[in-house]
Structure 1
Amino acid sequence: MKLTRIEVFNFRKLRGARLDMSDKQTLLVGANNSGKTSAMKALRKFLKDRGGIDTRDVTASNWAAIEQIAGAWTQEAEADLSSLLAQLPFLDVWLHADTSELHHVAHLIPTLTWTGGLLGVRLRLEPKKGADIKAGYLAARGAAEALQPDGATANGFALWPRDFREFLDKRLKDLFELNAHLLDPGSFTASGAVSPPPLPPLSEGIGPNPFAGLLHIREINAQRGFADAGDGKGDDGELVHAASRKIASQIQPYFRKHIDPETEPTSDDVKALEAIHDAETTFNARLKTGFANAIEELEKLGYPGGLNNPKLFIATQIKPIDGLDHPAAVQYDISGGTSGVKLPESYNGLGFQNLISMVFQLMRFRDDWMQVGKFKSQAVTSDDRGIEPLQLVLIEEPEAHLHVQVQQVFMARAHKVLRNHDDLKKEDSAFTTQLVVSTHSGHIAHAAAFEELRYFKRELPGQGVVPTAAVANMTGLFGGDTLTQRFVTRYLLSTHFDLFFADAIIVIEGAAERILLPHLIQHHYLDLAAAYLSFLELGGSHAHRLRPLIEALGLPTLIITDLDAMAEVDKGGKVVKESALPCYGTAQTTANHVLKAWLPKLAEIDLLLAPPPKAVCHTAPDRPIAVSYQTPQTVTQGGQTKDITPSTFEDAIALANKEAVKEAGEAELACRMTRAFAEFISTAPTPQDLAKSLFERLRKSPDKAAFALDLLYIKDIKTLRAPPYIDTGLTWLASQLKSGEGAL
C-alpha cells in the first residue's frame, strides 16, 4: 500500500495543487514564498491534526467569491452551501492498495466491484450537524444593522460582522468540521489540469479520520528551538536552556514507551528496580539521620506531637525517569574515549544538535510505529487494527544549521533510518514508509533523485489579490527521451540545483560570461542584482536539452547565446562549412541548436539579423523565456562609424568597451589574447578591420576565461558595459521580475 497522490485545494497559496508521491521520498523545492509551507501545513492540518483550519488558511483570492455567495443569501431563499464549500479548503488523497490489503481499506471501497488499485478520499470542511450557517450569519448581520442602521461611521467603525469573513473569523470552528467522502477511482486522471473530481451522487461523509488504523503520520517541523549553551537568557529575560535540550526532551518519552522497567518488568528490569529500591532505602536512612535534629526541634514547639498528631517523616521516592530529567541527561565524550571528559548536549554546535535530534526523532517515529519493546503492550489503536500499514513522515527544512556535506548525508540516510527494522527491511514487507521533505537547500535536493523533486512555482491568479502556486512534477518530464533525461540529470548533479530556488534563470555559453555577467548586473541592472539568479553554463549545442525542465519551472529565463554563423567555402573543389564573421546578405546559416530548434526556430543568419534589427530579443509566445544573441552594434574606429555584428561574447564586449580592453592589455600579467585585442583596438584602421582581427584571433587559440579575468583588473569595473544584445536581454529579464510576470 502507498500514497499515490495528494491534491490540495483552496488552502493558502494552493488554490489547486497536485503532489504526486514518490514511493520512498518526495522533496518539495522552490523559491521563497512559493507554497512549500502551505503544502506542509495542509498535510498537517488535514491528516495529522484533523482540524485547526481557520479563515487565514482559505486562499485569499477566494474571498471575493465567498462574499458574493453570502451576500446573495436572504431569509426567503435557501442557501446553496455547495458553492460555498467549493471555495473552502479541502484535500483529496489517492492511495493504491492490493486486494490482499482489503481488511485495511474495506471502509474506503466505494463499490462492490473494486478489485484492487486506486482509492480516493476527500477531506473537506462541512457544516456541523444542526449548524445553520445562513441563519447564523443573517441573524448576526441583522443585529448589527439594528444597532447601527446607517452602517460604518465616518472614521470606519462598524459593528461585527461587517462581512462574511469577519463572521467566520469568530464562528468557523463552531460551525464547521472536517468530514471525509469517498471518491470514484474512475475519476482519477494521470495527468492534465488540476481539477477536483465531483463527489458521487448522494455521497455521505464517513467522519473526520478515515485513515485511522491505516496511516501513521509524524512530523519534524521547521521550528526546532535549538540554542547555544552560552545564550543565557532570551529577549524576554527567561532562561532558554530548556529550548536547547531538544534531544534530552525526546529521550524521556522514548524511555516511557520502550524501556521503562516498571512496565511489564523483565528479569533485567527486576535487577534495575532492586538497585533503585536499595538506593532509595539507603537515601531514606541518610535523610532520617540528616533531618533528625530539625524534626526534634519542631516537635518541641508542640506540633506535631501528642498521641493524636502524626509524626513528621521525610522520605524520597526514586523513579527511573527522574534520572533523565535534567539538562545533562545527554552528554558527549569530547576526549575521544581517553579521559572521559564529557560536556552536556547544549555545548555542542547547533548543526550537530539538529542532526542528532532529527535522526533520533526518525528512530523514535519508526520504533513507535513498529511498537518496539514495551510500547506494544501500551499501544492501543482507535479500531484495534494493530500496526498501521503506511507511515508518512513530514520534515520541514532539515538543512537548518547543517553544513553542506551533512545536509547531503542526512538526506541520503533519512529514509534508511526509517526502514531500519527487521520487519521493514524485507522485500515483501507489508509496511510502507513515505517521506515528504520541504527544503530551501540545493544540496538537499542534490542528494535526492531527480524524479523525486516537486517544484513549487509562483503564479499570478487570473483574479485575486495574491499570487498562488502550482506544482511541477519532475517525473516523466522528458517523456521517452532517455538521452536528454540522462544529460540533464547528470549535468545538474555535476553542477548545482540552485535553479529550483531561483527567481530567474540565465543560460550562458561559457566561462567568460559566468565571470563578467555578475559584475555587469551588480553595477548596471539593480533590479536583477536584488534577485536570486541561477546561471547555467551551457553552450548553444546543449541548452535546448534543458527546454522541458525550464518550461516546467516557469521561471523567467534568458538564454544568452552566440550566432555561430557558418558560411560555405570552396576548398580544393569541395564545398565545406566553416565558422564566419556574421554578415547579412551572404547566405550564412547558424550552427546553434537553440536558435534552430527552440527560439526563434530560424537557421538563416539573414532572418536572424533581418533589418531593422529587432528592438527586443526573441521571446516564447506563452512562457517567460527569451533568447538573446549578437546583433549589429555601432563601432567607431579610425574616424569611421559602422554597424558591426560580433561573433561571440568576447569580441562583442571588446567592441563595446575598447578603452577597458586597452587598459587590461597593459597589465603585466595580461594573457596573450587580451594583449592582442588591445593592439587591434589601437591599430585597426576601420571598424571592419577591427572586427575581422578580433574574429581571426578568436579562431586561432581563444583564451576566453583568461580574457574575462583580465578585465576584472581594470581600475573602475563600473565602466564596463554590456554589449547591446546582452543589454536587451537583461533589460527584458528585469522587466519580467518587476512586472510580476513569472516568478514574482
Structure 2
Amino acid sequence: MKIARIEIFNFRKLRRARLDMSDKQTLLVGANNSGKTSAMKALRKFLKDRDGVDTRDVTASNWTAIEQIAGAWTQEAEPDLSLLQDQLPFLDVWLHAKTSELHHVAHLIPTLTWTGGLLGVRLRLEPKKGADIKADYLAARQDAEALQPAGATANGFALWPRDFREFLDKRLKDLFELNSHLLDPASYTASGAVAPPPLPPLSEGIGPNPFAGLLHIREINAQRGFADAGDGKGDDGELVHAASRKIASQIEPYFRKHIDPETNPTPNDVKALEAIHDAETTFNARLKDGFANAIAELEGLGYPGGLNNPKLFIATQIKPIDGIDHPAAVQYDISGDTSGVKLPESYNGLGFQNLISMVFQLMRFRDDWMQVGKFKSQVATPEDKGIEPLQLVLVEEPEAHLHVQVQQVFMARAHKVLRNHTDLEKEDSAFTTQLVVSTHSGHIAHAAVFEELRYFKRELPSHGVVPTATVANMTGLFGEDTETRRFVTRYLLSTHFDLFFADAIIVIEGAAERILLPHLIQHHYPDLAVAYLSFLQLGGSHSHRMRPLVEALEVPTLIITDLDAATKINKKTKKGESNSWESARPRSGGAQETTNHALKTWLPEIAEVDKLMVAPPNKLCHTDATQTIAVSYQTPQEVTQGTQTQTITPSTFEDALVLTNPKAVEDAAKADLACLMTRDFCKYIADASTPEELATALFDRLAKKPEKAAFALDLLYIEDIKVLRAPPYIDAGLTWLASRLKGGEGAI
C-alpha cells in the first residue's frame, strides 16, 4: 500500500496543486515563497492535526468569490453552501492498495466491484450539524448595524463583522468541522490540468479521520530551535522549552516508550531497579545523618513539635528517567584516547546537534510505529487496531546548520533509517514508509534521484490579487528520450541543483561569461543583482538538451549563446566532392547558416544567419510563446574605430566585449601578467584603422588557441570594473530578464 497522489486545493499559495508521491521519498524543491511550506502545512493540518485550518489558510484570491457568495445571502431563501465549500481548503488523497490489503481499506472502498488499485478520499471543511451559517452571519451584521447605523467612521473604525472574512476569523471553528468523502476511482486522471473530481451523488461523510489505523504520520518541523528562544511543541504535542530542545529531549520520550525498566519489568530490569533501590537506601541514610543537626535545630524552635505535628524527614526518590533528565545526560567523548575527556552536548556545534537530533527522531518514529520494546504494551488496548500498514514522515528543511557533505549524507540515509527494522527490510514487507522532505538546499536535492523531485513554481496572478503556485513532476519529464535524460541528470549531478531554487536562470556558453556576467549584473542591472540567479554553463551544442527541464520549471530563463555563423564549402575527397561547414565571420548576404543547435532547434528555430541577424520586431530578444524563455546572441552593433563608424556583427562573447569596451581592454593589457590574447587585442585596437579591420583581426585571433578565461580574468584587474559594459546583445537579454522578474513582457 502507498499514497499515490495528494492534491491540494485553496490552501494558501496552492490553489490547485498536484503532488505525485514517490514510492520511497519525495523532495519538495523551489524558490523562496513558491509554496513548499504551504504543502507541508496542508499535509499536517488535514492528515495529522485535523483541526487547525483557519481563515489564514484560505488562498487569498478566493476571498472575492467568498464575499460575493455571502453577500448574496440577503436575497436567497436557502444558501447553496456547496459554493462556499468549493472556495475553502480541501485535500484529495489517492491510495494504491492491493486486494490482499482489503481488511485495512474496507471502509474506503466505494463499490463492491473494487478489485484493487486506486482509492480516493477528500477531506474538506463542512458545516457542523445544526449550524446555520447564514443566519448567524446576518444576525451578527444586523447587531453591528443597529449599534453603528452610519457604518464605518471617518477613521475606518467599524464593529465586527465588517465582512464575511472577519466573521469567519472568529467563528470558523464553531461553525465548520473536518469531514471526509470517498471519491470515485474512475475520476482519477493520470495527467493533465489539476481539477477536483466531483463527489459521487448523495455522498455521505465518513468522519474527520478516515486513515485511523491505516496511516502513521510523524513530522520534524523546520523550527527545531537549537538556538531559538521561546516555547514550542514537540512531535508528540508536549510543551518543550527552548532551552531543552536538545538531543536529550529526543532521548527522554524514546526511553519512556521503549526502555523504562518500571514498565513491565524484565529480569534484566529487575536487576537495574534493585540497584537503584540500593543506591536510594544508601543515599537516604546519608541524608538523614547530614540533616540531623539542622532538623534538631528546627525542633528546638518549637516546630515541628508535639504529638499532632508531623515530623520533618528528608529523603530522595530516584527514578530511572532521572538518569537522563539533566543537562549533561548526552555527552561527547573528545579525548580520542583512553583519558575519557567528555563535554555536554551544548558544547558541540549546532550542525551535529541538528543531525543527531533528526536521526534520533527518525529512529523513534520507526520504533514507535513498529511498537519496539516496552511501547507495544503501552498501546495495546481493546480498541487497538495493530500497526498501521503505512507510515508518512514529513521533514521540513533538514539542512539547518548542516554543512554540505552532512546534508547529502542525511538525505541519502534518512529513508534507510526509517526502514532499519526486521519487519521493514524485506522487499515484500507489508509495511510501507514514504518520506516527504521540503528543502531550500541544492545539496539535499543533489543527493536524491531526479525523479523524486517535485518542483514548486510560482505563477503570476491571473485570477486574483496574489501569486499562487503549481507543482511540476520531474518523473517522465523527458519521455522516451533516454539520451537527453541521461545528459541532464548527469550534468546536474556534476554541477549543481540551484536552478530549482532560483528566481531566474541564465544559460551561458563558457568560462568568460561565467567570470564577467556577475560583475556586469552587479553594477548595471540592479533588479537582477538582488535576485537569486542560477548560471548554467553549457555550450551552444548542448543547451537545447535542457529544454524539457527549463520549460517544465517555467522560471524566467535567458539563453546567452553565440551566433556560430558558418559557410558551406566543397571539399574534394577520394570518393568525390562533399559539403561541410566552416566557421566564418557573420555577414549579411553570405548564404551563411548557424551551427548552434539551440538556435536551430529551440529558439528561434531559424538556421539562416541573414534571418537571425534581423532583430525581432518590437522585442528585446527572441522569446517563446509563454514569454518565460528568451535567447540572446550576437546581432549587428555600431562600432567606432578611428574616424569611422560601421555596423559590425561579432562572432563570440569575447570579440563583442572588445568592440564594446576597447578602453577597458587597453587598461587590462597594461598588467604585468596579462595573457597573450589580451595583449594582442590591445595591439589590434591600436593598429586597426576601421571597425571592419578590427573585427577581422579579432576573429582571426580567436580562431587560434584562444585564452578566453585568461582574458576574462585580466579584465578583473582593471582599476574601475564599473566601466565595463555588456555587449548590446547581452544588454538586451538582461534587460528583458529584469523586466520578466518585475512581471513585464520585455517589450520595448
Q: TM-score, normalised by structure 1?
A: 0.96
2:389 aligned residue: 389
Whole-angstrom CA distance in 2 between matches of 1:396 and 1:121: 25
Report the AA paired with residue 455 of structure 1: Y
1:633 aligned residue: 637
Q: 1:383 to 1:583 in 2, by over 3 A?
A: farther
Whole-angstrom CA distance in 1 between matches of 2:414 and 2:737: 39
2:599 aligned residue: 595
Q: 1:381 to 1:369 in 2, by over 3 A?
A: farther
Structure 1 contact 89–124 (Cα < 8 Å) conserved: yes
SS in 2 for 1:110: coil
1:293 aligned residue: 293
Cα deviations across residues 190-216 of structure 1 (Å, max 9, x unaligned)?
Answer: 000110000000011100001111111
Compare 694-703 and 255-264 and name the one that shifted more.
694-703
- For residue 283 of structure 1, report the CA deviation from its aligned partner: 1.6
Q: Give the alignment of 1:495-514 within 5 angstroms.
A: 495-514=495-514
Report the AA paired with residue 663 of structure 2: E
Which structure 2 residue ranges, 5 or more long, are not aligned? 232-239
Structure 1 contact 245–346 (Cα < 8 Å) conserved: no
The number of aligned residues is 734
Cα deviations across residues 467-515 of structure 1 (Å, max 9, x unaligned)?
Answer: 1111111011111111000000000000000000100000001111101
Whole-angstrom CA distance in 1 between matches of 2:537 and 2:76: 67
Whole-angstrom CA distance in 2 between matches of 1:252 and 1:193: 47
Q: Give the alignment of 1:62-461 within 5 angstroms.
A: 62-74=62-74, 77-227=77-227, 242-243=242-243, 245-380=245-380, 383-461=383-461
Whole-angstrom CA distance in 1 between matches of 2:393 and 2:172: 29
Q: 1:153 to 1:731 in 2, by over 3 A?
A: same
SS in 1 for 2:251: helix
- For residue 145 of structure 1, report the CA deviation from its aligned partner: 1.1
Structure 2 contact 454–473 (Cα < 8 Å) conserved: yes
Whole-angstrom CA distance in 1 between matches of 2:591 and 2:617: 17
Which structure 1 residue ranges, 5 or more long, are not aligned? 234-239
2:647 aligned residue: 643
Does 1:682 pair with 2:681? no
SS in 2 for 1:700: coil
Whole-angstrom CA distance in 2 between matches of 1:31 and 1:612: 31
2:734 aligned residue: 730
Q: Give the alignment of 1:528-547 within 5 angstroms.
A: 528-547=528-547
Cα deviations across residues 586-610 of structure 1 (Å, max 9, x unaligned)?
Answer: 1101111111111111110111113
- State which of 582, 585, 596 in structure 1 corresponds to 2:586: 582
Q: 1:741 to 1:49 in 2, by over 3 A?
A: farther
Structure 1 contact 216–388 (Cα < 8 Å) conserved: yes
Report the AA paired with residue 31 of structure 2: A
Compare 483-492 and 336-345 and name the one that shifted more.
336-345
Whole-angstrom CA distance in 1 between matches of 2:655 and 2:116: 65
- State which of 712, 724, 741 in structure 2 corresponds to 1:720: 724
- For residue 437 of structure 1, report the CA deviation from its aligned partner: 0.5
Q: Give the alignment of 1:643-722 within 5 angstroms.
A: 643-722=647-726
Whole-angstrom CA distance in 2 between matches of 1:595 and 1:214: 53
Cα deviations across residues 529-575 of structure 1 (Å, max 9, x unaligned)?
Answer: 11111000001111111111111111110000111111023455654
Q: 1:663 to 1:172 in 2, by over 3 A?
A: same
2:38 aligned residue: 38
Q: Give the alignment of 1:38-57 within 5 angstroms.
A: 38-57=38-57
Structure 2 contact 369–388 (Cα < 8 Å) conserved: yes
2:24 aligned residue: 24
Structure 2 contact 230–242 (Cα < 8 Å) conserved: no
- For residue 627 of structure 1, report the CA deviation from its aligned partner: 0.4
SS in 1 for 2:394: strand
2:623 aligned residue: 619
Compare 200-209 and 292-301 and name the one that shifted more.
292-301
Cα deviations across residues 335-356 of structure 1 (Å, max 9, x unaligned)?
Answer: 1242111111111000010011
Does 1:466 pair with 2:466? yes
Whole-angstrom CA distance in 2 between matches of 1:245 and 1:648: 57
1:237 aligned residue: none
Report the AA paired with residue 651 of structure 1: D
- For residue 156 of structure 1, report the CA deviation from its aligned partner: 1.2
SS in 1 for 2:153: coil
Whole-angstrom CA distance in 2 between matches of 1:461 and 1:678: 51
Q: 1:120 to 1:345 in 2, by over 3 A?
A: same
SS in 1 for 2:26: strand
- For residue 380 of structure 1, report the CA deviation from its aligned partner: 4.2
Structure 2 contact 616–622 (Cα < 8 Å) conserved: no
SS in 2 for 1:550: helix
Structure 1 contact 244–346 (Cα < 8 Å) conserved: no
Whole-angstrom CA distance in 2 between matches of 1:688 and 1:76: 79
Structure 1 contact 227–244 (Cα < 8 Å) conserved: no
Whole-angstrom CA distance in 2 between matches of 1:232 and 1:192: 45
Whole-angstrom CA distance in 1 between matches of 2:441 and 2:622: 33
Compare 245-254 and 209-218 and name the one that shifted more.
245-254
Compare 159-168 and 673-682 and name the one that shifted more.
673-682
Q: Give the alignment of 1:512-531 within 5 angstroms.
A: 512-531=512-531
- For residue 725 of structure 1, report the CA deviation from its aligned partner: 0.5
Cα deviations across residues 246-278 of structure 1 (Å, max 9, x unaligned)?
Answer: 111111111110001011111110000001111
Cα deviations across residues 120-171 of structure 1 (Å, max 9, x unaligned)?
Answer: 1000011111111111101101111111122111121111101000000000
- For residue 90 of structure 1, report the CA deviation from its aligned partner: 0.4
Report the AA paired with residue 630 of structure 1: Q
Whole-angstrom CA distance in 2 between matches of 1:383 and 1:641: 90
Report the AA paired with residue 491 of structure 1: Y
Whole-angstrom CA distance in 1 between matches of 2:745 and 2:326: 55
1:604 aligned residue: 608
Once superposed, what is the RMSD of the aligned Cα atoms?
1.9
Structure 2 contact 225–242 (Cα < 8 Å) conserved: no
SS in 2 for 1:479: coil
Structure 1 contact 221–396 (Cα < 8 Å) conserved: yes
Report the AA paired with residue 253 of structure 1: P
Report the AA paired with residue 81 of structure 2: L
Whole-angstrom CA distance in 2 between matches of 1:24 and 1:552: 23
1:5 aligned residue: 5
- For residue 310 of structure 1, report the CA deviation from its aligned partner: 3.7
Whole-angstrom CA distance in 2 between matches of 1:469 and 1:612: 31
Compare 462-471 and 587-596 and name the one that shifted more.
462-471
- For residue 740 of structure 1, report the CA deviation from its aligned partner: 6.2
Structure 2 contact 280–317 (Cα < 8 Å) conserved: yes
Q: 1:294 to 1:338 in 2, by over 3 A?
A: same
Structure 2 contact 736–745 (Cα < 8 Å) conserved: no
Report the AA paired with residue 483 of structure 1: E
1:236 aligned residue: none
- For residue 611 of structure 1, report the CA deviation from its aligned partner: 7.0
Whole-angstrom CA distance in 2 between matches of 1:88 and 1:106: 29
- For residue 308 of structure 1, report the CA deviation from its aligned partner: 4.1
Whole-angstrom CA distance in 2 between matches of 1:639 and 1:428: 82
Whole-angstrom CA distance in 2 between matches of 1:160 and 1:574: 85
Report the AA paired with residue 31 of structure 1: A
Report the AA paired with residue 274 of structure 1: E
Structure 1 contact 92–121 (Cα < 8 Å) conserved: yes
